[in-house]
Amino acid sequence: MVDASLLVMDAGTTSTRAMLFAPDGACLGCEQRELTQHYPEPGLVEHDAEEIWDRTLACARAMVAKAGGAERVAAIGITNQRETIVFWSRRTGRALAPAIVWQDRRTADFCRSLKEAGHEEALQQCTGLLLDPYFSASKIAWAMENWPQLRDAGGELLVGTIESWLIFRLTGGLHISDATNASRTALMDIATGRWDEELLGLFNVPEGSLPEIVDCAGRFGDTTLFGAPIPICGMAGDQQAAAIGQACLAPGDTKATYGTGAFVLTHTGAERPLSHHRLLATVAWQLGGARTYALEGSVFVAGSLIQWLRDDVGLLGSAAESEALARSVPDNGGAYIVPALAGLGAPYWEPSARAAISGLSFATGRAHIVRAALEAMAHQTHDLMTAFAADGAAWECLKVDGGMVANDWLAQDLADMLNLRVERPAFVETTALGAAMLAGVGCGLFPGLEQAAAMRGAVERFDPRLDLKTRERRLDGWKKAMAATLAR
């Protein structure tokens, strides 16, 4: 088994892919397919769960073939977009409705009414989360009320996040969810690792439809869809998987992933944290029934802002073009973008906020707007850094990953605006790498995560070099732009 590879299924928001890893961390191959984004109305975001399955399976088949057949794959690891919720039939295994995506805002009024009724404090104490449409529970409540086919399904109805959906289809009936994904539903008591009965009642979620909550590594079941049995041995939500892939294994270790959104996790250890500054407490991983925790700050729009500028506004021919444009001007020309295209996440949690571009003049050009979009990443991260420090989790170094930080200008801008060393691994796809590490632990290739962390490899460092006056001027402009957005 030592020379066999690890297969990772990475079902993201805008695409799904399969990647093949050697035990030393080398990426041996990747197959990727885009996912269709459905926007039935403003604020509503849906996926076709059957498309996610079909395209993930096609990617996985390509990587199994590249490995030389199922016999050459030691184990499967799965990582996924979190909070997105799928509804399917236990009997047929087919999706019964669209998957409601984590970005979806349809339950904003419902969440606000629950908050006004005084439910948020108890929910935060139990789950570590806040009352926001981001999390799965309110999405399930909305679906149960508005989609009759779910009520009509009765005991056949199954509900789960994306990894749960994929495992059910891979195994032909196993209904499980790992603790990191379960912790993002706003239905799990993160102290006990079990579904909370009061929250199930509050959100009208039938307990029998939910999966069993399990560890992040172990032998969960086999799939026989690739010609020979392959064990499924690792699972984690994408941001927890990225933290593991970045070797954030000790309290204080911090990573930031810049993908569709931007997500910062700071490892806090075995003690469950409670934020007083609008951050989230979440499960970092669960092994042997024991949970390790993290504080998290979630920004809803990061790479999707650049995608929007490219696909819908037409300011970019490609995402890679943004770096050259940012370098082509000395500053943002007074332009600021608050990228609230899907509301605002931490530390503001304002689902009704809308994006804004301010500070424009006749001197503003395309490059200034693109640069302002990239600068928004550091501005949003600075807001999070301030909240983490106030919660007693100050950052000493920021480990970054995700597709956006292939941009050297952006990595340096983060170091400059945070006044902090930034580390970028040579292999930036740490979400998939973390899932591979978990699969390696689960199948026995590694005795634990500390040993699996050798897969991370080399890192590149970016040290701050911006003068204090320029940094403060930019942050002041950002604060004014954010205040104007929140005042609308």
Domains annotated for the chain, with CATH where assigned, are 5-238 (3.30.420.40)
User: Residue 140 pLDDT > 50, yes or no?
Assistant: yes
Question: What region does 344 belong to: left with phi over 0, alpha with psi -120 to 50, or beta?
Answer: beta
Confidence of residue 317 (pLDDT cuts 50, 70, 90): confident
User: Residue 2 pLDDT > 60, yes or no?
Assistant: no
Question: What whole-number distance in Å separates Cα of residue 107 and Cα of residue 281?
Answer: 22
Q: What pTM, to 2 d.p., does this model score? A: 0.86
**Tokens of residue 36, six digits:** 């269709």
**Stretch 128-153: mean pLDDT:** 94
- The answer to whether the bond into 347 is cis (omega within 30° of 0) is yes
Q: Dump pLDDT digits (tens) for 31-90.
A: 999 999 899 998 899 999 999 999 999 999 999 999 999 999 999 999 999 999 999 999
What percent of the chain is predicted at pLDDT more than 70? 99
Within 10 angstroms of residue 62's Cβ, the number of other Cβ atoms is: 18
Which pLDDT score is estimated for 366? 93
User: Residue 1 pLDDT > 50, yes or no?
Assistant: no
Give start and end residues of each alpha helix (H) in 23-161: 49-67, 108-116, 120-127, 136-146, 148-153
Q: At 339, which amino acid appears?
A: P
First-to-last C-alpha distance (Å) of the chain: 59
Residue 158: φ, ψ to 5°: -120, 145
**Stretch 95-102: mean pLDDT:** 95
What percent of the chain is predicted at pLDDT more than 90? 82
Which pLDDT score is estimated for 3? 65
Question: What whole-number distance in Å separates Cα of residue 337 and Cα of residue 372?
Answer: 6
**Stretch 164-178: mean pLDDT:** 96
Q: Dump pLDDT digits (tens) for 239-252.
A: 999 999 999 999 99
